[in-house]
A and B are shown apart, each in its own frame.
Chain A
Amino acid sequence: MTTVPAVPRSAPASCHDDGAPLAAPVGAPLVVLAGAPNVGKSTLFNALTGARRTVGNWPGTTVEVGRGGWLVEGRVADVVDLPGSYSLDPLSPDEALTRAVVLAEGPDRPDVVVVVASAAHLARSLYLVAQVRETALPVVVALTMGDVAERRGIQVDAGALAAALGCPVVALDPRRRSGVDGLVEAVGACLSGGVAVPRLVPPAPSQGPDELAAADERFGWIDTAVTASVSAQVMTRRTWSDRIDRFAAAPVLGPLLFLGVMWVVFQATTTLAVPLQDALDALVSGPVSSAGGWLVDTVGLGQTPVRGLVVDGVIAGVGMLLTFVPLMALMFLLLALLEDSGYMARAAVVTDRMMSRLGLPGRAFLPIVVGFGCNVPAVSATRILPNARHRVLTALLVPFTSCSARLTVYVLLATTFFPAHAGTVVFAMYLVSILLVVLVGLGLRATLWRTVGADPLVIDLPPYQRPTLRLSLSVTWLRLQGFLRTASGIIVATVVVVWLLQSIPVGAGSFGDVPVSQSLYAELSRAVAPLLSPAGFGQWEAVSALLVGFVAKEAVISSWAQTYALAEPASSHDPGALGAQLHETFTVASGGHTGAAVAAFMVFLLAYTPCVATLAAQRRELGTRWTVFGVGLQLVVAWTLAVLVFQVGRVFW
């Protein structure tokens, strides 16, 4: 079993490592929400906590939980929204967390466990109740989806169910926020009341030697409760969802429809978001920078390095962060809509077979496709994977997908060095990218995750429903906030550091007034250059572009323009004078094997760190350790591949 660190009670809202605002006072009663997937647990959590909540990783894990304050009869309770889980016997890290939090002892022991159960799938929802009722924890059952059940001819008698389960049952509809008062009352009674009496004496240990007998006992107990409370159970007819699934999950049409949906997501994150990004970029580099510069001039610091720090450091950094906002918002909104509508579960089914070869579930396909547009939202899109281990593997593979920012550099280099075959060269880069995703995926699976087999496909398909815009928007806003909070620091800091390095002169010149070639930045590039000589591009002009590319690939071409003190080419299809300079650099660096060196450079550019924003997103999803591992992995892959390409290529070119 995976062990999960419990969080001390004194840090109620520390789901974010940067310290989110406290939602509940220290020592507040702890209420945990547990329940099977697709029973409306998170909707209930949103209804209970309103704006007083955070969503983030549980400390020390990559498992996402919601946490917030809930006003229960005059006092604020600390509510934790746990990942969906059918039982306390964990199959994944997410379920292990549910077990750890529910069964925690000492100061972390929950005061009330609210098990959210669906009236439409009552028997299946009650296994968790059966297990929690074996402990002395007070349990309240929140019965959701009464409307869905009714449409199927199922009526659940909450009173009879409560009598059979031996704990309060509250019927409610979190989507319409009805029945929540009843839950407040029931939980309030538990908080002021005493200890619950376990349903079994002595309580059966859930991991005991005779686990099968224990499970049989629970199923028997559940059957008794269901028989006592459910009035009519009919085998359902063909539903609307079945009709849609005739296409959406069908052998040939299903994958085709999925490709269509992917195309829409990809278009939205490229064509639709790009004009917004450009507009924001123009706003920041134009009016905002001028205003900032004017402000610095007005306070009399115009001739000092402060001007550069404000305009080229801080404003440029914040501007870069802002350009990601429309892209991320759009991405989060689309994901929320796909999940809320029920389609995501179908997408997981139709792509399962293909992705299982990489040890990944079908829905991992989506972040990887999005990565070809931009890696940053793609890393965040790994949130759709319920299993934390799959999320780590996918987020490590995403940077190998060639994003559109890298495309501009390929085009410039291909038109400069291989004018007759530019299109083919660029296309080849995309093939290399796909190959890298597959090979690195297989490699990681064979080494780090050897024990993780592809999970057998068992997916509960929720009925399709019209997505609620309010819910989707609130999820989007919450995730966007989380991204900005965790990503802003690292992005702005990196842009400021690069500005600083380019401003510090080595030898002649004064701070802030020095040609790039004589800055500390160029000096650093020269120091790193010999490492890349085996790959055929160990010249500081080439290496410095890679250093800038670490911040953002969009900046590579403009940095070359700066390096060679040329005007930036108007279009990457027409390199002009820059082309001649680049020719010289690569020819000198490679000892005449120019083509091989350029190919090696392009492969390196594809495989190493995409940009600092991707790192920030990875750090948010995976934590610092996995992010550092990812950077190392990419540098090793990039260097090895570049050296290989050059050493083989020089035989021919």
Chain B
Amino acid sequence: MATSLARAPVGIELRVVGAVGPTALTRRLAELGLRVGAHVRCVQKTAGGGRIVDVAGSRIALGRDVLDAVQTVPTHPAQPAEATPS
């Protein structure tokens, strides 16, 4: 089951399986490394409902609506795949 970055648990490694939204936004996310197949990790929650995401070693702050647009699955299915309320 894919979960959005907004609902994915913090701290575990995830794989991006899809991104929806305006082309300009998905293109910018792809330029920053957030594209299908990329491995990412939510680092922490931020003020204003956003999160900091680890993408290939760099930290990117994303707003709530952007997080909703990115769908992920856990890289290691052994880890809990349940969505946690954010």
Contact = CB atoms under 8 A, between A and B. Distances in A.
A binds B: yes
Contacts of A219: 30, 35
Contacts of A87: 27, 31
Contacts of B43: 242, 245
A124 interface: yes
Interface in B43-58: 43-50, 52, 54, 56-58
A211 B30 CA distance: 13
Contacts of A235: 13, 39, 41, 54, 57
A458 B54 contact: no
A447 B70 CA distance: 32
Given A235-B41, A235-B54, A349-B46, A245 B59 contact: yes
Interface size range on A against B:
35 or more
A255 B47 contact: yes
A123 interface: yes
Interface in B20-37: 21, 23-25, 27-33, 35
A123 B24 contact: no
A109 B33 CA distance: 30
B60 to A, nearest CB: 6
A493 interface: no
B63 A457 contact: yes
A246 B59 CA distance: 13
B48 A353 contact: yes
Contacts of B46: 249-251, 254, 349-350
B82 interface: no
B57 A246 contact: no
A234 B57 CA distance: 8
A456 interface: yes
A458 B63 contact: yes
A154 B57 contact: yes
B62 interface: yes
Interface residues of B, number: 35
A458 B58 CA distance: 13
B50 A460 contact: no
B27 to A, nearest CB: 6
Interface string B58-72: 111111011000000
Given A123-B33, A245-B52, A456-B66, A461 B59 contact: yes
B44 A458 contact: no
A215 B27 contact: yes
- Summarize B's interface: helix, strand, loop or mixed: mixed
A249 B28 contact: no
Interface string A326-361: 000000000000000000010001111110000000
A605 interface: no
A345 B44 CA distance: 16
A460 to B, nearest CB: 6
Chain A CB count within 10 A is highest, among B29, B30, B62, for B30
Contact of B56 (A121, A254, A255): A121
B32 A457 contact: no
A461 B25 contact: no
Given A458-B66, A459-B61, A460-B60, A249 B52 contact: yes
A459 B60 contact: yes
B47 A350 contact: yes
Contacts of B48: 251, 349-354, 457
A201 interface: no
B6 to A, nearest CB: 12
Nearest to B65: A456
A301 interface: no
B67 to A, nearest CB: 9
B58 A121 contact: yes
A361 to B, nearest CB: 10
Nearest to A352: B48
B31 A252 contact: no
Interface in A211-265: 211, 215, 219, 233-236, 241-242, 245-246, 249-252, 254-255
Contact of A457 (B30, B44, B50): B50
B11 to A, nearest CB: 10
Given A120-B57, A461-B59, A86 B32 contact: yes
A279 B24 CA distance: 52
A215 B30 contact: yes
B47 A458 contact: no
A233 B39 CA distance: 12
A215 B35 CA distance: 11
Given A91-B24, A249-B61, A460 B32 contact: yes
Contacts of A233: 56-57
A249 B57 contact: no
A499 interface: no
Interface in A82-96: 86-87, 89, 91
A297 to B, nearest CB: 63
A458 B27 contact: no
Contacts of A154: 57
B49 A458 contact: no
Given A233-B56, A245-B59, A353-B49, A124 B44 contact: no
B44 A250 contact: yes
A351 B13 CA distance: 28
A249 B50 CA distance: 10
Please give me the 10 A-B residue pairs with the lowest Cβ-Cβ distance, nearest first: A457-B63, A353-B48, A350-B47, A86-B31, A461-B59, A254-B47, A459-B61, A249-B46, A349-B61, A236-B57
11 contacts: A91-B24, A124-B31, A124-B32, A236-B57, A241-B59, A242-B44, A252-B47, A255-B47, A350-B46, A457-B61, A458-B63
Interface of A: 86-87, 89, 91, 120-121, 123-124, 127, 152, 154, 211, 215, 219, 233-236, 241-242, 245-246, 249-252, 254-255, 345, 349-354, 456-461, 463
Given A353-B47, A353-B49, 15 more contacts: A86-B31, A121-B33, A121-B56, A123-B33, A215-B30, A234-B57, A242-B43, A246-B44, A249-B44, A349-B47, A456-B25, A458-B66, A460-B32, A460-B59, A461-B61
